[in-house]
Structure 1
C-alpha cells in the first residue's frame, strides 16, 4: 500500500462518529436490481482450489436464494489487503469479506465491520464460546471463524527421499536440528533445504518460545529487540549455511501465489504453513507432505509455542445496505452441511459438531493427516496470543522488509529488529490518535 492510500484509510476510519455517519452510505452494490433482487459483493483471498470451491457454494446459494445475487471478488493474499483498504477508504468495501486475525481489530476496531451478534439471520448456536470469542473485539462480533488450524513445518516427502535424508523426529527436535536437516536436504537434493518463515505469526511462535509475545492483551508490543534480533539472525544463519535460498529468491517467494512458491514447486524440503494449506500444497507439489511440529529451543514440544488459530473469518461491511442478506449468506457459509461437503477442511476445521459429522466420511487422506496433527498437538498447546491491536496490520510487511534487509546484508539483525519494534510501536500509537 502506498503512503497516501494508508493515510486515506486511517483518516476515514478515525473516530466512531465518522464511521457511523458513513455507514449509512452503503457499498457500490447497494441498490436493488430491476427484478427486485439485491447484489452482494463477496471478497476472499485464496488459491485455485479455494476459488473453485467457493464458486460452487455461491452457485448453490443463488439457486436457494434467487433474490440474492453474488458478485464474486476473489484475490490473492499479496494484494488483498491493499485493495480492501483502498475500497474501504473509498466507501466501496465488499458486503461480505473474508477476514484474517491480523486485520480483524484493524477493521472492527475502526467500525468498518458489522456486529454480527445483532444479526438474527446468523445462527451461532452450533459454535462454542471460544469460537465466538475469537471473532470479538471491543465487545462486538466482527467475524465468525471458519475453523481452526495451527502452524506446522511441511516436510516434502519426495524431496527428503531424493536427498536420502530421514524425516526428523519432531517430538524432540530443536532449531539446530532443523538447520542440520535443511543443510542435508540442500546438499542431497541439489535444491534449497528450507524456505523462510518470514511472517508475523512465525515470529510470534519464536517469541513465545522465549517467554515473550508479539502483542499484549492491552494492545501494546510485548517483545524485546533482542527477541526479534535472534529470530532474524536465525534466518540469516539458514542462508549463510546454504540451507535456504539467497535473499533475492526469498524476496520473490514471499509474494508468490501458493502454487508458485518454492514449497509447491518442489524446490524446498521444509517450509512453514498453516494446516489448512496442506491440500493445495499437496496438490500443487504432487508429493506427500508430512506435518511436523515447529522446532523448539530445548527440544520439548510443550515449549514450541504452538496454538490453535482461527483459520480466517467471514465478516460483513458495516456500510452494506443489505446487512440482513449479508448475514444470511454468512450463515449459509458456516452452518449449511451441503456447503461443508464442498469446502470440507480448506478453510480450517470447523468447531461445529454438525459440520464435523457431515464432512467426516468425505475426508481425504490429506484432510485426515491435518486433523490427526491438530489432535496430536492439542495437549501441548499454550494459550492463544492476544488479538493484534488496531494499527498493527502492516507490521507483517515491516517484519518482512527488515528481515530481508538482514538477508541482503543491508542491516544487522540487532539494527533491523530495533527498526521493526519502532515501526510496530509507532503503528499502534498512530492508530490511537
Structure 2
C-alpha cells in the first residue's frame, strides 16, 4: 500500500474504547479521532447528547494522541478494519485517498448539505470529488497580546507588510528588555504557506509535488534569521526549541505567528492578559487570491456497510450542523465550517472565539486561488523542516544548504511513495 508506513505496536491502541451515548456496542458506529483528555471528555458529552436525540447514532469511540492515532490507522488500513468515521491528519489526506479509504459523499443520501453554497462545496473537493467533510476552518494569523499593546502604547495597525513588521519587531525588542516582539516561528506551517502564496508559490502543487522553489524557502528562513539575529525573538534555548513553548514565553512575547484556532486554548493559560488576532503581513506584490483556508477533515470509510454509511451521514449532520455540539466541544478545531452554525455560535462566543470567527470569516469571503493537500510520502515534512531549522539556528548549516537538504529529503519521500515503495 502507498504511504502505509510502519506497523504500530499495541501501545498505540491502548487509547481506544468506550461507547458514547449508550446503546449496544456491537451496533454502534466506530468513530476515530485524536486529541487530549479534555477533548475526549467534551466529545463524549456531545456524543451522549447526539445519542439522546437519536439512539441509533451511538458511537464506539476510538481515541488516541495524534501520533498514536496515525500509527493505529496504519495498522487498521493494512487489516481493512478502519473506523466508520475517522478524522484525517493533515499530512495524510492524500495518502489515505490514494489507499481508497474515503467513501464518496454524494453516495450518502442522509448527509444534509443544504446550508452550504456551491463555492463552499467546491472548497471541500479532493481531486474533483466530494469524498471528505471538513469540520472546522483554520487560517494563518498573528496572535498578539492586546494587554501589552495597551501598556506599551503600541500603534498596532490593521495590516502589516513583512518588512514593516520586521522593522517594528526589532525596535520593540530593543526598547523592551523584558519582552520580545515575537516568538521565533519559522516552523509554523500555515504562516509558512501564507508566505509562499504571497510570493507566487505553493506549499504543494496540483500534481502532488513540492510547490515552492529553493529560493522561496530560503527567503522564509532568512526573514526569521534576521529577526532572531537582531534579538527580536527569544533565543532557541529561551523558547525551548525551534517550536516555541507557549508555556515558557507566551507571556513575554508581544506577538506569535500561528493558526487562528490556537487562541482558544492558549489564551486560557494567561488569563490576566487579553489576546487578539490580525492577518499575516502581506507582501506588496502578493498576487490576488493568496488567502487560503485549511480544513481539518473527516471521512466515512469506504469499507463501511451502506447502512453504517447512512448513519455516519447523520453523525456528520450533528458534528457540523448542530450548534449544541459546539457549545460542548468549543472551537479548538477551528471556526465552524457550516456558515449557519458559525452565525449561531457567534451569539454566545467568548471574546477570543469571536476574534477567531471574525478573522476566519474575512478570509472565507475573500477570493482565493486553489490550495492542494500534501501528497503521499510527504507526511514527515514538518519534522524535516524542524531539523534543518535546528541546524541553521545552531550554525551547523547555512540557509542555502538547509533549504536544499529539506527539499531533497521531502522529494525523496514523495518519489518513494509514487513508486509504490513504503514511505516514512
SS at match of 1:361: coil
Question: Does structure 2 conserve the Cα–Cα contact (< 8 Å) formed by 1:96 and 1:314?
Answer: yes
Aligned twin of 1:295: 281
1:132 to partner: Cα distance: 2.8
Q: Which residue in the other structure is 2:345 paired with?
A: 359
Instruction: Give how far 1:268 is off.
Output: 2.4
Q: Could you tell me how far 1:378 is from its partner in structure 2? A: 5.9
Which residue in the other structure is 2:407 paired with? 421
The residue aligned with 1:119 is 108
Offset of 1:71 from its aligned partner? 3.5
Identify the residue that residue 6 of structure 1 maps to in structure 2. 5
Counterparts of 1:131 and 1:37 in 2: how far apart (Å)? 36
Q: Which residue among 339, 355, 368 is the counterpart of 2:325?
A: 339
What whole-Å deviation, never above 9, does each CA across 1:335-383 have from its counterpart, x for those lacking one?
Answer: 2343244446443333534323432422333232223333445676542
1:309 to 293, 296, 305: 293
Aligned to 1:174: 162
Residue 393 and residue 313 in structure 1: after superposition, are their counterparts in 2 closer, same or farther (change >3 A)? same
The reply to whether residue 131 of structure 1 matches residue 115 of structure 2 is: no
Q: Does 1:278 align with 2:268?
A: no
Aligned to 2:119, what secondary structure does the other structure show? helix
User: Structure 1 residue 55 and structure 2 residue 44: aligned?
Assistant: yes
> Scaled by the length of structure 1, what TM-score is found?
0.79
Give RMSD over aligned pairs: 3.5
Q: Is 2:197 the partner of 1:208?
A: yes
In structure 2, do the counterparts of structure 1 residues 338 and 377 end up closer, same or farther at CA, with 3 Å as the change threshold? closer
- 1:89-238 equivalence runs, <5 A: 89=78, 91-161=80-150, 164=152, 166-178=154-166, 180-181=168-169, 184-185=172-173, 188=176, 190-195=178-183, 196-238=185-227
Tell me what 2:376 maps to. Answer: 390
In the alignment, the residues of structure 2 paired with residue 192 and residue 80 of structure 1 have an alpha-carbon distance, to the nearest angstrom, of 36
Check the 8 A contact 1:155/1:167 in 2, yes or no. Answer: no
Q: TM-score, normalised on structure 2?
A: 0.81
Deviation at 1:91, TM superposition (A): 4.5
What is the rounded CA distance, in whole Å, between the counterparts of 1:283 and 1:192 in structure 2?
21
**Count of equivalent residues:** 404
Q: Which residue of 2 aligns with 1:371?
A: 357
Give, in whole Å, the separation in 1 of the partners of 2:247 and 2:39: 17
CA contact (8 A) 1:200 1:399 kept: no
Any gaps of 5 or more consecutive residues in structure 2?
A: 9-15, 420-424
CA distance in 2, matches of 1:198, 1:160: 25
Contact 1:159 1:266 in 2 (8 A): no
In structure 1, the gaps of 5 or more residues are 10-26
Do 2:201 and 2:212's aligned partners in 1 also have CA atoms closer than 8 Å? yes
User: Secondary structure at the residue paired with 1:283?
Assistant: helix
Distance 1:227 1:116, change over 3 A: same
1:378–1:165 Cα change, 3 Å: farther
Distance of 1:240 and 1:279 partners within structure 2: 31
Q: Evaluate the alpha carbon distance shift between residue 75 and residue 288 of structure 1 in structure 2; reply closer, same or farther with a 3 A threshold.
A: farther
Q: Structure 2 vs 1, CA of residues 61 and 342 (structure 1 numbering), >3 Å: closer, same or farther?
A: same
| Alpha-carbon distance, 1:425 to partner | 1.9
Aligned to 1:97, the other structure's residue is in SS state: strand
Could you tell me how far apart the structure 1 residues matched to 2:70 and 2:84 are?
15
Residue 55 (structure 2) aligns with: 66
The verdict on how the C-alpha distance between 1:35 and 1:92 changes in structure 2, with shifts beyond 3 A counting, is closer
- The alignment partner of 1:108 has SS state of helix
Q: Secondary structure at the match of 2:397?
A: coil
Residue number in structure 2 paired with 1:15? none
Q: C-alpha separation between the residues in 1 aligned to 2:71 and 2:239?
A: 21
Distance 1:346 1:77, change over 3 A: same
Partner residue of 1:22?
Answer: none
How far is 1:413 from its partner?
0.8
**Deviation readout 1:270-311 (Å, 9 max, x if unpaired):** 11222233222222222211212212344x7x6697523143
- Structure 1 position 314, deviation (Å): 2.0
- Aligned match of 2:422: none
Say yes or no: does 1:44 pair with 2:33. yes
Say which SS state the counterpart of residue 378 (structure 2) adopts.
Answer: coil
Secondary structure in structure 2 of the residue aligned to 1:148: coil
